[in-house]
Chain A
């Protein structure tokens, strides 16, 4: 057999090599997220129903998490964190629609997950500079004492790296396994793995967002 999952169509765009399928899927996911989110919030009634209700439930539970971890100033990053969760969730679940020739998760491309991890990392440092100031943020690399600067710097690299690879690995492995299972046992077993993967997709989106939130926590701490 020949695997489709993980293979990309590379084209030239603005002088750069890009994975066209990943980009197309990203735009599709982005469009879906926008449609669902906007239509869920368009009613804007005080007493929610249906889609708005479900959306508000999800978002409110996330907001509770953010508020708990980041404190009252969480509004500064709430848009990025919510988008991160919704985009990753929709991206993960879209790849589960079983025809890998057409639909694949944009999160099965390392480029996507690294981009998201870099967003997370940049945001952490940006917020630290904004809320704590350059001096304090710079000093935080030398804590608890000076030699720790090496470990701290390594941590700043490993944080986005682990974020990116965790998400990438989970989603790509899920898709490959799904494809293999379809090839081996076309009926029954793949459905079980599919349901499992749907849960994994949700969990990975949640983990990515919550880890980013906890990385942000020192930037929001007031001491």
Chain B
């Protein structure tokens, strides 16, 4: 049952023949496939990493662009608001000017009116004085009385002018 004979030699040779056949027809292609697969996986991984990097960069670009656009829009709005403010201010200024002008005109008119009124009154007073004088002259009055009358009359006129001013 346990004996060594010539089979040993044949088995030795058999084994090496088998190794040679398998190495040529099986292992070489198999190892090549395994190697190819390892390379492919490695290259796929690196491709994926590259793609991710590109995507990352694109995203950063887009974000920057959005940021720029937003800033630009804000600037435009700011400018428009400022412009509107300026215009409103200018209009307000113009209206104020006009009001001031009209006030001046009105004041001048009022002054003229008053002037005219005073003139009218003075004329009236003179007429009145004349009438009084006439009445008094018709009576017999002394020179003292006359002088007093004239002085009173002048006083009265002056007082009125002071009041008018």
A187 within 8 A of B: no
**Cβ-defined contact, A19 with B5, below 8 A:** yes
**Cβ-defined contact, A17 with B6, below 8 A:** yes
Which A residues touch B4, using CB under 8 A?
Answer: 110-111, 114
> Secondary structure at chain B's binding surface: helix, strand, loop or mixed?
helix
Docked CA distance A56–B27 (Å): 11
Partner of A110, one of B2, B29, B30, B40: B2
B78 within 8 A of A: no
Which A residues touch B69, using CB under 8 A?
Answer: none
Which of the four size classes fits the interface of chain B?
A: 20 to 34
A112 within 8 A of B: yes
**Cβ-defined contact, A86 with B22, below 8 A:** yes
Segment 1-51 of A: residues with Cβ below 8 Å from B: 6-7, 10, 13-14, 16-19, 22-23, 26-27, 30, 33-34, 37-38, 40-42, 44-46, 48
**Cβ-defined contact, A30 with B18, below 8 A:** yes
B21 within 8 A of A: yes
Which A residues touch B12, using CB under 8 A?
Answer: 115, 118-119
A-B contact count (CB 8 A): 116
Segment 1-56 of B: residues with Cβ below 8 Å from A: 1-12, 14-19, 21-23, 25-27, 29-34, 36-37, 40
Which B residues touch A116, using CB under 8 A?
Answer: 11, 15
**Cβ-defined contact, A114 with B27, below 8 A:** no
Which of the four size classes fits the interface of chain A?
A: 35 or more
B110, chain A: closest CB distance, angstroms = 106
If A26-B14, A63-B34 touch, whether A80 touches B25 (CB-CB below 8 Å) is no
B6, chain A: closest CB distance, angstroms = 3
Which A residues touch B23, using CB under 8 A?
Answer: 79, 83
Docked CA distance A46–B44 (Å): 13
Partner of B25, one of A7, A22, A34, A82: A34
Which B residues touch A55, using CB under 8 A?
Answer: 30
A87 within 8 A of B: yes
Partner of A83, one of B6, B9, B22, B33: B22
A–B Cβ pairs within 8 angstroms, 15 of them: A18-B10, A38-B26, A41-B30, A41-B33, A44-B29, A59-B30, A79-B23, A79-B27, A82-B22, A86-B22, A87-B15, A109-B7, A111-B11, A112-B7, A115-B11
A residues contacting B by CB (< 8 A) are: 6-7, 10, 13-14, 16-19, 22-23, 26-27, 30, 33-34, 37-38, 40-42, 44-46, 48, 55-56, 59-60, 63, 78-80, 82-83, 86-87, 106, 109-112, 114-116, 118-119, 172
